[in-house]
Structure 1
Amino acid sequence: MINILLGLVERLAHLDRLKFFLATAPSRWDTSNANASSSSSDPYLNMGMGMNAAHHPPAHPALNRFLLPNQEYVTCVLWNGLYHITGTDIVRALVFRFEAFGRPVRNMKRFEEGVFSNLRNLKPGQDATLEEPKSPFLDLLFKYQCVRTQKKQKVFYWFSVPHDRLFLDALERDLKLEKMGLEPTTQVVGEPAQSFICDDAFKSSLYEQFVTAAGAKTMRAT
């Protein structure tokens, strides 16, 4: 029981560090020792529970990376004066977020389809850049495992990605599937997911409920 609680605390602490990275990475840039190994130059590597990342490519001055427990990175990429994140890394962050929530992804293909459906709302020119196949930008992203393919694709502006909404929308999709007796893309295995209760009395989306609750909490605090 103690080990389970310690694991939960550790996951949630790592999640807090990821959220901090997603909120602050462009303002916490460190290009020193750009040619050194990622273990010495990555300002967020120490957030990765002391894991060894020696098998990853060396650090690059255009990349600011956060190491996840599974040894994958979520990367903030500076290109043409703008900060970016790939769809692949958005999914990686969400997958870890669900794991920390106690509801790991079991059907990755369908989970990704749902996330990328949401990401279609982010338009090129406003929220993303549309990169042509094997462009210099995609070449860099592919080399550092930020994308899985160099096919034509959107790369998203860092601050245009609504990470909280993507998480809540994915969770709501699975809750609706469960309610209909269908197989969700994630599975409840522990806390805090086991204790989570969705109030079906609300007609609004889970995200809208979250925003309303956050607003009420802010009002009480003031």
Structure 2
Amino acid sequence: MDTDLYDEFGNYVGPELDSDDEDDLDELGEVEDHVQDEAGDDDEEGGEGDAEDEAGTMEVVLHEDKKYYPTAEEVYGPEVETVVQEEDTQPLTEPIIKPIRKKKFRMMEQELPSTIYDMEYLADLMDNPELIRNITLCGHLHHGKSSFVDTLVEQTHPEIRKHLDRDLRYTDTLFTEQERGLSIKSTPVTLVLPDSKGKSFLFNVMDTPGHVNYSDEVTAAFRLSDGVVLFIDAAEGVSLSSSPEI
């Protein structure tokens, strides 16, 4: 019987049968209709959104009304306390540009030692740069720099004299300098001294340390001085100086 339904080549030649293709076609048609309906709805909604966008572009939005970043409450939550402080905050009591204030100070000593010259005369010499000389006393350790300054001080200040045959060491003002018996800091002394013709000059004498560890003090004094006086002990002879510039 089966041979009557098929030919010699295997093709079906029997009566027509109901096929499932029609059902498939019907289902495909329903799906296409559903898709078309959804597309129509989207087009309607899209048209409304485009209309809203076109209407929104016509509105004027101020800069302060724009929201570029989320707020701290949105990021951390309402239960978290956030404190915002700008780095450039400045109190109203402090001006943005402060006025330039020049500090004026005056140091006066009540009991100055008496001198062979008047202090007003010394002040008048300060107004004449041609009569001012800046001198640095340098040399090796214990070659007589501070002792030479003591001699000048004793000549110009009659009240200052040696006590109990001890060295005055007038320029050694630090306690460590007096305890060790050597200069650590460069100390200036201002004196009025005459030349060989009797003309007075204002001398700013810098007593520098002789130890090699304090050579920076000597170098700083050289930068301020017009000339240098090198001290050499006659007994020891020429020794290593505290400054490499000599």
Tell me if TM exceeds 0.5: no
Give the structure with the larger helix fraction: 1
TM-score, normalized by length of structure 1?
A: 0.23
TM-score, normalized by length of structure 2?
A: 0.21
| Largest Rg, 1 or 2 | 2
